[in-house]
Amino acid sequence: MKRMMIAAFVLLAGLLQLQAQVTAPAPSPFCKTEQKVGLTDVTIEYSRPSAKGRVVFGELVPFGQPWRAGANAATKISFSSDVKIGGADVQAGSYALLITPQADKWRLHFFHYDKGGWSSYIGDEAPETAAVVDVNVTALPMPVESWTIDIGGLRNDGASLNFMWEKTFVSAPLTVPTEAAVMASIEKTMAGPSAGDYYSAASYYLSEGKDMNKALEWINASIDKGGERFWILRTKALIQANLGDRKGAIASANRSTALAQEAGNDEYPKMNASSIKEWMQ
C-alpha cells in the first residue's frame, strides 16, 4: 500500500509539472509579412531580435560570416511568380535567406528552402543556391531597436526589399513581371473562351442533360480552337447520340478510337465500341 501511495504521488507530481508550464513572450518574436507587389504575392517569415543597447553589425552579428537574417530558424521568403532581386533572377517558390554583412555592403544568399542545408553556409556555388545579391549599406539617422524586414516603394512593376536594424539600412530592388502577366491576361480575355473552356461547358451540358444543340456548338468550337482530341470526340459522339444523330455519333466515335489508338490509349476504344454497338441497334 505504501509503495502504491508513493507511485501515485510521483505520478501526480509529474502531471502537475506538465500542467504548470510557464507562458512568456519570446525573446525574438516571430513576424510574418505579406505584401502584394503588382500581381506577385511576397511573404516573409522571420524572427525579430532586439539590439538592447548592443552594437549589432560587426559585434553581435560579425562581419564576413553568414547570418540567418533573424533569430531561431532561418528567414523564409516566398514569391508567387518569378522575380528579379538586385538584377538576379529568382524563380517562383520559397527560399531561405542568409546574409553576409560587411561594413559597406551585404551579400544576400537565397537558398532553395526545400533542399535544406541552409542552417549553415553551404557556398554560393552549391546546387541549393538560387541567387546571390550584393547590396550597399546606408547609415540610418535614428536607431531601429528590432530587426526589421519590410517591402517598401511599391510600384506596379516592383518594390524594394528593405532591411533595418540599429543604425544600418540596406535595400535591394525587387522587380516583378506585372506587365507580362497583364498583357497575357488581356490577350487571353480578348481572344475569348479557350478550347478547354468550350469543352468544359459542353461536358457540363451533356452531364446535366441541358441544351444538346448548345453543347454541340461548344464542342465543335473546342475542336476548332484546339484540334481533334480523342476524349473531345468521344464527348461529341455522346452529344450527337443525344440529339438522335446516330450516324454522326458513330463517325465521331470511330475518329475518337483512331486517335486514341495512335496515343496508345486502350480505354476509349473499348468505350467507343460499346457505344457504337448500342447506336447500331
Mind listing the pLDDT tens digit for each residue in 53-67?
A: 999 999 999 999 989
| Residue 5 clears pLDDT 70, i.e. is over it | no
- This prediction's pTM: 0.70
Non-local (6+) Cβ contacts of 10 within 8 A are: none
Between residues 230 and 87, the one the model is more confident about? 230
| Residue 17 clears pLDDT 90, i.e. is over it | no
| Residue 148 clears pLDDT 90, i.e. is over it | yes
Non-local (6+) Cβ contacts of 265 within 8 A are: 230
Distance of CA 212 to the CA centre of its chain: 39
> Which pLDDT belongs to residue 166?
95
The CATH label, of 1.25.40.10, 3.40.50.720, 3.40.50.1220, 1.20.1440.120, for the domain at 193-279 is: 1.25.40.10
State the pairing for strand pair 83-85/75-79.
unpaired
For the stretch 106-117, what's the b/e string if a residue is b when 16 or more beta carbons lie within 10 angstroms of its beta carbon? bbbbbbbbeeee
How far apart CA 4 and CA 270 sit, in angstroms, is: 73
pLDDT over 70, % of the chain: 89
CATH 1.25.40.10 in the chain, residue ranges:
193-279
> Which pLDDT belongs to residue 27?
81
Closest to 70 measured CA to CA, from 118, 31, 124: 31
Task: Give the count of beta carbons closer than 10 Å to the beta carbon of residue 213.
Answer: 12
Strand order in 75-79's β-sheet? Answer: 30-37, 40-47, 75-79, 93-101, 105-112, 129-155, 158-175, 83-85, 88-90
Q: What is the mean pLDDT of residues 4-24?
A: 56
How far apart CA 45 and CA 59 sit, in angstroms, is: 24
How far apart CA 33 and CA 162 sit, in angstroms, is: 12
Q: What is the mean pLDDT of residues 133-154?
A: 96
Grid cell of 57 as nine digits: 553589425
Q: What does pLDDT average to over the chain?
A: 90
Q: How confident is the model at residue 121 (pLDDT cuts 50, 70, 90)?
A: low
> Which pLDDT belongs to residue 67?
92
pLDDT, tens digit (0-9, with 9 covering 90-100), for 71-102: 988 899 999 999 999 999 999 999 999 999 99
> Which pLDDT belongs to residue 113?
82
- Cβ 225 vs Cβ 201: under 8 Å: no
| Residue 10 clears pLDDT 80, i.e. is over it | no
